[in-house]
Structure 1
C-alpha cells in the first residue's frame, strides 16, 4: 500500500461514515415532532444518545486499540443500519429511544478508528515524522462533503416521496440505513487491518480496561491533552445549540414541516460546505496564525461570533431570516472545522498507536458531554425564555473556550514517549 492509496481508502470511509448522519440532519427532529414528541422529549432523547455514547466511548476506543480498527468500524456500520431502520418505523417515544440507543452505540464505535487507521498506516509508510495535517484535512473535508450532500438529499426526499407509500419524513432514515450497509461492505473489503497478534477473549477483556485506564490517565494528566478535551466539550456546546433549535425555527419560517425540512436542508448544507472549506484551509490557517494552537483559537473565536450572530438575528423573518441563518452556518462550521482539525492533529501527535483510538474517543466523549448538558439546558431555556437567549449563552461558553489555547503547553515528544510507555505498562 502507498500513502496515496491509504489516503483514498481513508477518505472513502470518512465519506461513507458520515453520509447516513447527513441524510438524517434535516428531518430527525421534524420526524419526531410529526409523530407527537415534544421539544423537551426530543431534548431528552438527544441526552440519552449522548449518555450512551459517553458511556461507551472509552471502552470502544480501547477495543479498537486491542482488536483492530476494521472490526470496530464494521460493527459500527451494522448498528447504524439497525438504528436508522428502526427510526423510520418508530411511532412512540420508546421506539425512538431504542433507536437512539443503537445510534449511540454506533457513534461510540465509529469515533476514532478510521483516523487511527490512517495515522498508523502513514506512520508505517513514512515514519513518525510524517505530516498528518494534509491527510487529516482531506478526511475531514470528505466528512463535511458527505454531510452536505446527505443533508440536501435528506431534505429534498420528503418533498418527492408519495405520501400514500409512507410518511415522507421517514424516507431519509431508510436511505441512511442503505448507506450504512454500503459502508459495512467497504470497511470489510477495502480497509486492510495491519497484522495483530492473536488474542484470546480473556486477553481482550483484560487488555481493554487497562488500555482505557491508561488512556484516561494520559488525557487527564497531560496539560496539552487536558486542554484539548475541554475544547472538544466547547464544540459540543456549539453543535447542540444549533442542531436542537434551528430546525424548529426554520419550520416556523417556512410554514410546514416538509418545507421546513427543505429549508433546513439548504441551510445545513451551506454549513457543511463551510465545514469542508474549513477543513481544507486548516493547514493554511495554522501557518498564517503561527501554529496549530493559535489557528485553533482563531477558529473557536469565529465559531462563537457566528453563534452570537444567530442570536442577534433570531427575530428576523422571511428571506432575511433564512439568509442570515445560512451565512452564520457557513462561518460557524468553517470555524469549528478549523479548530477541530488542528486539535485533532495536536491530539494524534501527543500519543502512540497503543492508545491512539482511546485518546481520540476521549475527545469525542468530551464533545458528547458538552452536547448532552447543552441539549437539556438549551431545550428548557428555549421553551421558557427564547431561542435567542439559548444561542447567546452558547456563544459566551464557546468564546470562553478560546482561552484554552492561550499559552498552550509545548509539545514535548520525549515526555510523551514516557507517558505512552507508562500507559502500556498499566
Structure 2
C-alpha cells in the first residue's frame, strides 16, 4: 500500500463515519417528540447517550490498541446500523432509549481507531518522521464536510418523503442506517492491517485494562500530553457553551421556535463548513506561525475572539443579530478546527502504536469532561447573568488555554521510551 492509497481510504472512512450522524441530527429530537416523548424524556435519553459514550471511551480505545483498529471500527459501524434502524422504528421511550444506548456504544468504539490506523500505516510506509498534518487535515475536513452535507440532506429529506410511504421524520435515521452499513462494508474491505496475534477471550480481558491504565498514565504523566488534555477540556467548555446557548439565541432573533430551528440548521451547516476550512488550512497555519504549537495558539486566540464577539453582539436583534451570530459561528469553528487538528498531530507524535487509540480516547474524554462542566454551569449562568456573560466566560477560558501551547515540550523517542508500558499477556 502507498501513502496516497492509505490517505484515500482514511478519507473515505472519515466521511462515512460522520455522514450518518449528520443525517439524523436535524430530525432526531423532532422524531422523538412527534412519537410521544416529552422534553424531559428526550433530555434523559440524551443524558444516557452521554453516559454510555463517556463510560466506554477508554475501554474501547484500549480494545482497539489490543485487537486492532479494523475490528473495532467494524463493530462501531454495526452498532450504528442497529441504533439508527431501531430509532427509525421506535414508538416508545424504552425503544428510543435502547437506540441511543446502541448509538453511544458506536460512538465510543469509533473514537480514534480510524485516525490511529492512518497514522500507523503512514509510519509503516514513511517512518516515524512522516508529516501527519496534511493527511489529518484532509481527514478533519472530510468529517466536517460529511456533517455539513448530512445535516442539510437530513433536514430536507422529510420534505421529500411521501407520508403514505413512511413516517417522514424517520427517513433521515433510516438513511443514516444505510450509510452506516456502507461504512461497515468499506471498513471490512478497505482497511487492511497487520494480523494480530490470536488471543483468547481471557487474554483480551486481561490486556485491555492494562493497556488503558498505561495509556492514561502516559496521558497524565507526559508533559506534552498533559497540556493537550487540558486544552481539549477547554475546547469542550467552548463547544458546549455554543451548542447549549445558540439555539435559544437564534429562536429569539428569528421570533419563533420553528424559524429558530431552521436558522440553527443553516448556522450549524455553516459552522461545519467553517470547521472543514479550518482543518484544511491548519497545515498552512502551522507553517506561517512557525510550528504546530504556534499554529495552535493562533487557532485558540481566533476561537476566543470569536466567542468574545458573540458575547459583545448578544444585544443585537433582527437581521444584524442573525448575521453576526452566523459569522461568529463560522469563524469560531474554523479557529477551533485549526487548534484541534494541530493538537491531534502533536498527540500522535507523542505516542507509539501500542497506546495510540487509548490516548486519543483520553483526549476525547477530556473534551467531553469540559463539556460536562459547561453543561452544569453555563445554563445557570446564562439564566442569572445573560447569554453574553456566559459567552464572555467561555472566551476567557479559551484564551487562557492558549498559554498551554507556549514553550510546548517536544516529544522524542527517548521520552516516549521512559513512559511505563503495558506488558503483553498474549504470549
Do Structure 1 and Structure 2 share a fold, with TM-score over 0.5?
yes
Task: Please tell me whether the aligned partners of residues 9 and 190 of structure 2 are also in contact (alpha carbons under 8 angstroms).
Answer: yes
The number of equivalent residue pairs is 424
Q: Name 2:49's counterpart in structure 1.
A: 49
Task: Please tell me whether the aligned partners of residues 47 and 372 of structure 1 are also in contact (alpha carbons under 8 angstroms).
Answer: no
- Give the CA deviation at 1:370: 1.4
Q: Name 2:274's counterpart in structure 1.
A: 274
Q: Work out whether 1:306 is the aligned partner of 2:293.
A: no
Q: Name 1:390's counterpart in structure 2.
A: 390
Once residues 385 and 87 of structure 1 are traced to their aligned partners in structure 2, the CA distance between those partners, rounded to angstroms, is 38
Q: Secondary structure at the match of 2:350?
A: coil
Q: Name 2:118's counterpart in structure 1.
A: 118
- Give the CA deviation at 1:299: 0.9
Q: Deviations over 1:129-179 (max 9, x none)?
A: 111111111111111111111121122234444456555444322222221
- Give the CA deviation at 1:392: 2.8
Once residues 96 and 5 of structure 2 are traced to their aligned partners in structure 1, the CA distance between those partners, rounded to angstroms, is 40
Once residues 155 and 378 of structure 1 are traced to their aligned partners in structure 2, the CA distance between those partners, rounded to angstroms, is 28
Task: Please tell me whether the aligned partners of residues 20 and 175 of structure 2 are also in contact (alpha carbons under 8 angstroms).
Answer: yes
Change (3 A) 1:42 1:240: farther
User: What are the within-5 Å matches in structure 2 for residues 217-296 of structure 1?
Assistant: 217-254=217-254, 259-296=259-296
TM, length-normalised to structure 1: 0.91
Q: Deviations over 1:191-233 (max 9, x none)?
A: 1122211111111111111111111111111111011111111
Q: Name 1:198's counterpart in structure 2.
A: 198
Change (3 A) 1:246 1:45: farther
- Give the CA deviation at 1:81: 1.9
Once residues 312 and 32 of structure 2 are traced to their aligned partners in structure 1, the CA distance between those partners, rounded to angstroms, is 28
Change (3 A) 1:33 1:355: same
Once residues 20 and 378 of structure 1 are traced to their aligned partners in structure 2, the CA distance between those partners, rounded to angstroms, is 29
Change (3 A) 1:390 1:109: same
TM, length-normalised to structure 2: 0.91
Q: Name 1:344's counterpart in structure 2.
A: 344
- Give the CA deviation at 1:385: 5.3
Which is worse superposed, 274-283 or 29-38? 29-38
Q: Secondary structure at the match of 1:11?
A: helix
Q: Name 1:353's counterpart in structure 2.
A: 353
Q: Secondary structure at the match of 2:268?
A: helix
Indicate the RMSD between aligned Cα atoms, in angstroms: 2.4
Q: Secondary structure at the match of 1:316?
A: coil
Q: Name 2:150's counterpart in structure 1.
A: 150
Q: Secondary structure at the match of 1:419?
A: coil
Change (3 A) 1:277 1:171: same
